[in-house]
Amino acid sequence: MRALLWEGVNELAVRDVPDPVLRNDGDIVVKVRRTVTCGSDLHLVGGYIPFMRAGDVLGHEFVGEVVEVGSGVRNHSVGDRVVVSSFIACGRCWFCRKGLFSACDNGNTNPAITETLWGFSPGGCFGYSHALGGNGGSHAEYVRVPYGDVGAFRIPDGVSDERALFASDSVPTGWMGAELGGVTPGDVVAVWGAGAVGQMAARSAMLLGAEKVVVIDRLAPRLQQVVCFIGCDVIDYSSTDVHEALLEYTGGRGPDVCIEAVGMEAHSSGPGHLYDQVKQQLRLQTDRPTAVRQAIYSCRKGGSVFVLGVFAALVDKFPLGAVMNKGLTLRSSQMHGQRWIPMLLERMERDEIVTEHLATHVMSLEDGPRGYQLFKDKADGCVRSVLVP
Amino acid sequence: MPLWNRTTTVVAASATAGAAALVARRLRPGTTSPPRWHAVTIDRPASEVPGPAASWPAPLARLADDVELRTNPAPGDRGTEVYAQRRADRTDPTLDGRIRGALRETRMILETGEILLGDAPSTTRSTVTNLPLRLALRHARTGGRL
């Protein structure tokens, strides 16, 4: 089959690779119909997460059709149109039972790497390095899905592939930020990052009853999408002092819930960005936490900060004093998709969540490297590049 | 297809190899240290986990002659704690790693019914820069902090 491969730091190529096969009774094999670039892939492409091997298939957010099922699969049949959670979870361990699917004890076949790095291992993920299992990614014609009964969900007839695609990762990630961030009716919520995850976090906050929601970014096409498709307020940080703007937006209180949807390659408009970038390039810190710092600083006393963006290891100048003295609740997680995807598909069917506008660039799998280039450069208004194998 | 400038790539590639080498070194089996208990908590009640080591699922049963085993009910609703350590007279430096791997696989079997396997056939190829990562992956099930 054809697949988009990581060939080395900043090198991608589409080549022929062996088809995936069923390896466990609970596996299914899915023929990919749509697969999409994610901001977190850029950390792999750029070598910031150093656990890729030449030939690894990228991609973790996808929809497709079931073409093979293992002998232990009960919920799926050949021909099912499914969306698959990006995180691989067994559904049977204590963490899965508690809804913490991305913390699954059994979903990562290489647990020692992340145990060594982080103390304990999260679950596995498609196309997201050998630290998270070395599983083949979805930027391919076919993908093996372990624990298929747990991680794959039939798409309702009323939901298109184009919409359901984002139920694989972006929408549940955004929902998680709002729900686990503790959004309640009447809250004021600020979201850093107007990419797909940030937009979905904002929409989720609105659905959970937030009275005012504002999204912060510098990219005009994304901010326009927020206004047109999400229907909330925006702040352009390249021309506005974010903290002052948030004080004014909240009557001097600060947002009740702050959701960071940017990650380890954050930008900012001040000299802090240069400082962080130099330290990251010299590997004196692995991640640039600019947006996290700002969210902590601007959050109201006793408020909640949720970190949705992907971070790999160490950050510098973390404002722990603000967390402690303001009494903030700081939470974070990888995405517990299995917990929310069925509910989110229902909301998609009722048009409460729309995602088609996120797919600004749709192209063939063969054009995948160009899709990543556009996505990385944020060129031509690219929010997400969708690949069609 | 080159996506960024060459300097960034060289720095990133060097750092990548360096970080993976560090992990590989941490995961390598070391010299024999005093026995210690390795533990997993299995999300099954004590009534559903076996008694003597030989009656456990194959990964742990294979080590029955080399390990001491004990179990405890876990607090709350967390299932059963399973502890294993090599017998004091066993000096094989790889044994602790094999115990860790066996505990993980035993948990998988008792919780899900099977041991999750990695993808095959592989799509990857060996390069000089991914040598440290390949060394780390040799111990990806048997290393770690367990």
DSSP letters for chain B: -B-S-HHHHHHHHHHHHHHHHHHHHHHS--S------EEEEESS-GGGS-SSGGGS-HHHHTTTTTEEEEEEEPSTT--EEEEEEE-TT---TTHHHHHHHHHHHHHHHHHHSSPPPPPSS------STTHHHHHHHHTTTT-S--
Strand partners, A8: A11
Residue A358 reports pLDDT greater than 70:
yes
- The answer to whether position B146 is within a domain reads no
Sheet bearing A11-16, strands edge to edge: A11-16, A2-8, A56-57
What per-residue confidence (pLDDT) applies to A276?
76
Instruction: Quick: pLDDT tens for A114-137.
Output: 999 999 999 999 999 999 999 999
Residue A67 reports pLDDT greater than 70:
yes
Q: How confident is the model at residue B58 (pLDDT cuts 50, 70, 90)?
A: very high
Residue A69 reports pLDDT greater than 80:
yes
Percent of chain B with pLDDT over 90: 60
A202-213 mean pLDDT: 98
Task: List B residues 24-43 in contact with A (Cβ-Cβ < 8 A).
Answer: 26-27, 40-41, 43
User: Which of A52, A90, A373 has the CB atom closest to B111's CB atom?
Assistant: A90
Instruction: Pick the residue of A4, A5, A9 with the most B CBs within 10 A to test the interface with B by mutation.
Output: A9
Query: Domain count of chain B?
Result: 1
CB contact under 8 A, B116 and A281: no
What per-residue confidence (pLDDT) applies to B21?
62
Lowest mean pLDDT among A15-29, A190-204, B32-46: B32-46
What per-residue confidence (pLDDT) applies to A271?
75
- The answer to whether position B132 is within a domain reads no
What per-residue confidence (pLDDT) applies to B111?
97
Instruction: Pick the residue of A7, A10, A108, A126 with the most B CBs within 10 A to test the interface with B by mutation.
Output: A10
A54-75 mean pLDDT: 98
Instruction: Quick: pLDDT tens for B113-136.
Output: 999 999 999 999 999 989 999 998
- The answer to whether position B145 is within a domain reads no
What per-residue confidence (pLDDT) applies to B1?
42
Q: How confident is the model at residue A285 (pLDDT cuts 50, 70, 90)?
A: confident
Residue A280 reports pLDDT greater than 60:
yes
Residue B57 reports pLDDT greater than 50:
yes
Q: How confident is the model at residue A232 (pLDDT cuts 50, 70, 90)?
A: very high
- The answer to whether position B58 is within a domain reads yes
Residue B6 reports pLDDT greater than 60:
no
Inform me whether the C-beta atom of residue B142 falls under 8 Å from chain A C-beta atoms. yes
Among chain A residues, the shortest Cα distance to B6 is held by A10
What per-residue confidence (pLDDT) applies to B17?
58
Largest CA-CA distance found in chain B, in angstroms, rounded = 60
CA distance A168 to A128: 14
What per-residue confidence (pLDDT) applies to B12?
54
Residue A12 contacts residue B3 (beta carbons within 8 Å)? yes
Q: How confident is the model at residue B19 (pLDDT cuts 50, 70, 90)?
A: low
What per-residue confidence (pLDDT) applies to B4?
47
Half-sphere exposure of A78 (CA within 13 A, CB side): 5
Q: How confident is the model at residue A313 (pLDDT cuts 50, 70, 90)?
A: confident
Largest CA-CA distance found in chain A, in angstroms, rounded = 60
Domain of B21, in residue numbers: 6-115
Among chain B residues, the shortest Cα distance to A373 is held by B3
Inform me whether the C-beta atom of residue B128 falls under 8 Å from chain A C-beta atoms. no
What per-residue confidence (pLDDT) applies to B25?
60
- How far is Cα of residue B57 from the mean position of the Cα atoms in its chain? 16
Q: What's chain A's average pLDDT?
A: 95
- The answer to whether position B123 is within a domain reads no
Q: What is the least distance, in Å, from the CA of B103 to any CA of chain A? A: 12
CA distance A122 to B17: 23
Percent of chain B with pLDDT over 70: 78
What per-residue confidence (pLDDT) applies to A273?
76
Q: A-B interface: how many C-beta pairs under 8 angstroms?
A: 185
CB contact under 8 A, A18 and B1: no
CB contact under 8 A, B123 and A136: yes
What per-residue confidence (pLDDT) applies to B2?
44
What per-residue confidence (pLDDT) applies to B26?
60
What's the CATH number of domain A173-332, 3.40.50.720, 3.30.420.40, 3.40.50.880, 3.30.70.360?
3.40.50.720
What per-residue confidence (pLDDT) applies to A265?
75
Instruction: Quick: pLDDT tens for A19-34.
Output: 999 999 999 999 999 9
A256-263 mean pLDDT: 95
Residue A268 reports pLDDT greater than 80:
no
Percent of chain A with pLDDT over 70: 100
Closest Cα to residue A329, out of A294, A296, A297, A292? Answer: A296
Task: For residue B99, count other CB atoms closer than 10 A to its CB.
Answer: 25
User: Which of B12, B104, B111 has the CB atom closest to A92's CB atom?
Assistant: B111
- The answer to whether position B106 is within a domain reads yes
CB contact under 8 A, B141 and A109: yes
Q: Measuring CA to CA, how many Å separate A101 from each of A120, A143, A148, A151, B115? A: 14, 20, 14, 10, 18
Domain boundaries, chain A: 2-169+335-388, 173-332
CB contact under 8 A, A109 and B116: yes
Among chain B residues, the shortest Cα distance to A108 is held by B116
> What's the whole-model pTM score?
0.92
- Name the CATH superfamily housing domain A2-169+335-388: Medium-chain alcohol dehydrogenases, catalytic domain (3.90.180.10)
Among chain A residues, the shortest Cα distance to B97 is held by A112
DSSP class per residue in A167-209: GTTHHHHHHHHHHHTT--TT-EEEEE--SHHHHHHHHHHHHTT
